[in-house]
Amino acid sequence: MGVPPKAVAQSFREEDPGMITDSIRFFVKRHLLANMIFLGVLIGGVFAWRATSKEEMPSVTFDFVRISVRYPGAPAEDVEYYITKPLEEKIRGIDGVHSLDSTASVGQGSVRVELEPELSNVDEVVAEVRNAVLDTRLPEEVVDDPVVRVFKTDKKAIMDVALYHEGKNLLSIDDRQKLQRYSLALENRLLPLKEVNSIDRQGYLQEEVQIRVRPPDLVKFKIPFNSIQTQIRANHIRQPAGTIESEGEPKVTLLSELDTPQKLGELAVQGGFEGRVVRLREVAEIEAGFEKPDHILKVNGHEAVMFSVVKTASSGILDSIDSVRKALARFRESTLKGSSIRAVALDDESFDVRNRINLIAQNGALGFILILLSLFTFLDKRSGIWVAMGIPFTLCFAMIGGALLGYTINGTTLAAVIIVMGIIVDDAIVVAENITREAQKGVERSVAVVRATAYVTLPVVASVATTCVAFIPLFFFSGHFGKFVSFIPPIIFLVLAASLFESLYLLPGHMLLDLPGSKAKRALEPHAHWFDAVERWYGRALERVLPWRWAFFALSLGLIAFCGWSAKNKMKFVMFPNEETRDITLTGFTAQGMTRLDTARKVQEIEDLFTPYIGKEVVGTRTSVGRSRRGGAAQQNNFRLGIEIVPKDQREKSADALVQEFEKELARLKGFSKLRFSKSRWGSESGSPLTILVQNNDDPARQKMSRELRDALHAHPDIADPEIEEGFFTDEYRVRINREKVKRLSIAPGDVAKTFRAALEGTVLFQFSNGDEEIRVRLTTTDGAKNNIEKVLAIPVENQRNYLVPLGDLVSVEKVRSPTSIARREFKRTTVVDADIREGAKMTPLDAAEFMETKVFPDILSRHPNGNFAFDGEIKDTRESSSDFRNAGLLALFLIYAILAILFDSVKQPLVIMVAIPFGIVGVVMAFWAHGKVLFGFYAAVGVLGLVGVVINDSIVMLCKLNDDVDPDAPAETFDRAIARASQTRLRAVTLTTLTTVAGVLPTAYGFAGYDAMLAEMMLSLAWGLVFGTAITLVMIPCLFRVGIDWTARSRRRRVVEEEIAQV
């Protein structure tokens, strides 16, 4: 740790004024130019704020594509065979595709395509995926086109609007027709809004005209089922015929549509000139209705239709929500007034955006006030005012820069601003304090501002550079969270660049200006300041400590070692600690054998319990019957009830307290089982911290592995509610056609298959428009004709000689059990097992993963060698982020060291400065302990990463002063006094920069004007890490500097001795 004769910086400051000094002087002499720049940036910032969209998250395109296909009536295995597998085969060979996941459930399939990270040609790869989907041959029963969706945060659902019929817990056909008419009217009001891109419907059923054939009547009139299809299709005609060759060229169109139940009923399906005419109404029931739902959606206890409103990419979330709410209010007033239809808004994404903007604005304003108080306490009035004016300048500059980069105002960019709120004035404090100190020596003010600013230019530039490089690693984080945090560094760079420019070029000129009411310009006279006494006390104390430098150094190392050991053993890294939430989910079952309708009626008892809370602690509830947590099929007696509660600052009870209250109410109800509450976890798709993938193409073996894993998790005292997410099994009749018999009877096998499908699921014969919607005409059988397999087998099919043969004579039937859902990950069938960490347990998800990998997985795999286990969700993201943080930390340390080595022209002195880093981290550990926090989250780690760059700024200023003022060739007995005197001159700048930084983030850390759990963690680590790091720096840097002198002196003496020995 040798000390160079003089730092390169001193040579620059004292011997060669150079270009930077000239540039400072240029702005000092041109007040008008400086003021125009200052005012221009302020005005530009205001316009940029008004023009920039406000969003919940930055504009990010996720690196995955989801493909959804509906195959009505198909069992999961057929969906896998005909839909998901063919799609996988088509997509897997595309360059840029990283992995494929698929889910096949009853009647629908989906494929999730994950792209390679950091692709430069994402749009091209997505286009190839779309083309591959279009090229895949799908069954003709797949009526709707596959939906290919690319997820972008700037084009997302911003609000759900639900409509329900008050007083109607479940809907009849007439009730639903009325509700969907109102729903369609609302959709037509919302879609024309320029802020609305599209609307996704939930609970909205396709309108149909249903022809339900009575098989006994077919037998009675000897009419084959297939001929009904043929007759209806043949008689539904709408076709342009051409043009009459006459004046005006009138057009001719054939219109013979069967577009009403009445027209269909009068259709002759058999008979002629001699035989009796049989009309369709004589063999079938015909009525308007709706498609068969695969689940039931209820809102606030009423069966409902719900719209998810998706905004356009160019519209901000706040403007979009305001526009939708105004349209909804007009719709209530003009259309719903006096009716029994109610419209409610749920999942309003602007709540969090507004709260975060208000929270950050209020906490930021409070931080700004604290910064001003700190400035006026430690600086003179002139310096305090002009240093404080740098804050709006830098923020407005960042607003302009962010707007030019195409950024939005969102939680991430606002968090970046809060991080540097206090750092903004650090450069200005150093410059202003040095100008004041120089001017108080009697130097003419115009000379003092230039000389003092040039003196600290390199340390200030180095401080800004080290702060910036500490955040550069955030660009290289992987995964979805990496995309979000990559928006933090550019904002920080803009703010610090503006702060640097304002400090070096605008502030010196402003320091020459007299405040209103002050005397004419003159050299500042020396005057006493209350902090002078503190500086003198610090100098005396430091002079007493320096002789004990080795003991202090040893104690400090011991403190680092103790905190490091304690942090490793007692603090745990969790991606997102389970803080206060706004979404609670209740899952459960009604009695076995209940249908969806039975379950929907029964769950009304639970929904009624929440009714008194709606409008108070609860925004609303939504219930889904017969659908799993991931949207797949579930047992008909299974339900999920989502409870949206108001933000934390708008209610007195915590989410945990509400859950306990709900549990007491539910305990009085009978007829329910496996009731379980869970709170949403930010960043977790499943809502559970533990998500394990069980992979094996052997279904019985995979099911056994899943049960063994569930049992092992259930036995662990710290793990709660393990749940297997595999679809339940249901009865399936597998029908095999007797080929020899159908050939002998001259019956086409395809006719047999079509008859089965039409009789059960129904066949869509055609569709027609009623103005707003397409209405399908579906042919099937009556419910009574398909409530057991024997009745279906009695349906007749016609051969080529017009003889009728029952289906049962042509096929054999086998009854089996088949899954309702099949998940595949990387071409292997997969079952998902979820579990929670028990409330109050000290185990983290990473601890649980280690336990499973060392104790559970090997034991299970020893019995199932073809199987495999993998982690997904929070554990996977946490492990990736942990690795990213380690790499980011090392990269940041290397870049900081490189900058300091260049500044000080030394390989040793940067190590002296960087000693502040571990002490800053010690401060973070101690702060978390003091606040009772043992879980260290993602955002806290980001705060520590920022701390690495900020905590060394004071060390740079301190060491530069020591290098300049302490002569290593002076008598040894003068070193301690010289070091103490040089250090005390930097005490005010060091203390004030720390106080302003802490003051800027402390209101957010403690939520003085509103609490945000994620931002609070980040600011807590930054604030207290900086406080502790600075406190140690004020003693450690002088002590290490003195140690360096000792080593240098010892080295010199050794060389002298060696030279004397060599001469002898």
Q: Which residues lie across from 812 on neighbouring strands?
A: 736
C-alpha dihedral over 856, 857, 860, 864, to 10 degrees?
180
- The phi, psi pair for 185, rounded to 5°, reads -60, -40
Number of C-alpha atoms within 13 angstroms, CB side, residue 949? 33
Q: Round the average pLDDT of the chain to a whole number and report it.
A: 84
The better pLDDT of the pair 694, 18 is held by: 694
Q: Which CATH number does 580-680 carry?
A: 3.30.70.1430
pLDDT value at residue 343: 94
Neighbours of 1061 (CB within 10 A): 8
What's the rounded Cα separation, in Å, for the pair 149 and 130?
A: 9
Top CATH class, 157-240+253-294+304-348+745-807: alpha beta
Q: Which of 250, 228, 65, 263 is nearest to 146 (CA)?
A: 65
Per-residue model confidence as pLDDT tens digits over 902-956? 877 888 888 888 888 888 888 888 888 887 777 777 778 778 877 877 778 778 8
Per-residue model confidence as pLDDT tens digits over 819-876? 878 888 888 888 889 888 887 777 888 888 889 999 999 999 999 998 999 988 878 8
pLDDT value at residue 943: 80
Q: What mean pLDDT comes out for the span 162-176?
A: 92
Band the pLDDT of 235: cuts 50, 70, 90.
very high
The better pLDDT of the pair 279, 152 is held by: 279
Do the domains 61-152 and 580-680 sit in the same CATH topology, yes or no? yes
Per-residue model confidence as pLDDT tens digits over 320-335? 999 999 999 999 999 9
Assess whether pLDDT exceeds 60 at residue 17.
Answer: no
Taking the alpha carbons at both ends of the chain, their separation in whole angstroms is 31
Per-residue model confidence as pLDDT tens digits over 78-99? 999 999 999 998 998 888 888 8
pLDDT value at residue 773: 84
- Residue 123, both tokens: 């749009």
- Residue 273, both tokens: 């000139």
DSSP string computed for 990-1032: HHHHHHHHHHHHHHHHHTTT---HHHHHHHHHHHHHHHHHHHH
pLDDT value at residue 165: 92
Q: Which CATH number does 8-56+353-514+547-575+879-1056 carry?
A: 1.20.1640.10
- Residue 69, both tokens: 């296909």
Instruction: Report H helices in 332-425.
Output: 350-378, 381-388, 390-404, 411-419
What's the rounded Cα separation, in Å, for the pair 564 and 56?
A: 37
pLDDT value at residue 738: 92
Q: Are 669 and 677 in contact (CB under 8 A)?
A: no
Assess whether pLDDT exceeds 80 at residue 542.
Answer: yes
Band the pLDDT of 22: cuts 50, 70, 90.
confident
Beta strands in 590-718 (DSSP E): 618-625, 638-645, 673-679, 690-695
Q: What mean pLDDT comes out for the span 244-273?
A: 85
Express as a percent the part of the chain with pLDDT over 70: 92
Q: Which CATH number does 61-152 carry?
A: 3.30.70.1430
pLDDT value at residue 547: 86
Tell me the domain boundaries of the chain.
8-56+353-514+547-575+879-1056, 61-152, 157-240+253-294+304-348+745-807, 580-680
Q: What mean pLDDT comes out for the span 249-264?
A: 88
Any idea what DSSP says for residue 276? P
What's the rounded Cα separation, in Å, for the pair 725 and 722?
A: 10
Assess whether pLDDT exceeds 80 at residue 648.
Answer: no
C-alpha dihedral over 648, 650, 655, 657, to 10 degrees?
130
Assess whether pLDDT exceeds 70 at residue 589.
Answer: yes
pLDDT value at residue 522: 44
DSSP string computed for 890-957: HHHHHHHHHHHHHHHT-SSHHHHHHTHHHHHHHHHHHHHHHTT--EE-HHHHHHHHHHHHHTTHHHHH
Considering 11-25, 138-152, 526-540, 1001-1015, the range whose residues carry the highest mean pLDDT is 138-152
Assess whether pLDDT exceeds 80 at residue 521.
Answer: no
Per-residue model confidence as pLDDT tens digits over 357-413? 777 677 667 777 877 787 778 777 778 888 888 888 999 999 999 999 988 888 788
Neighbours of 500 (CB within 10 A): 21
pLDDT value at residue 182: 94
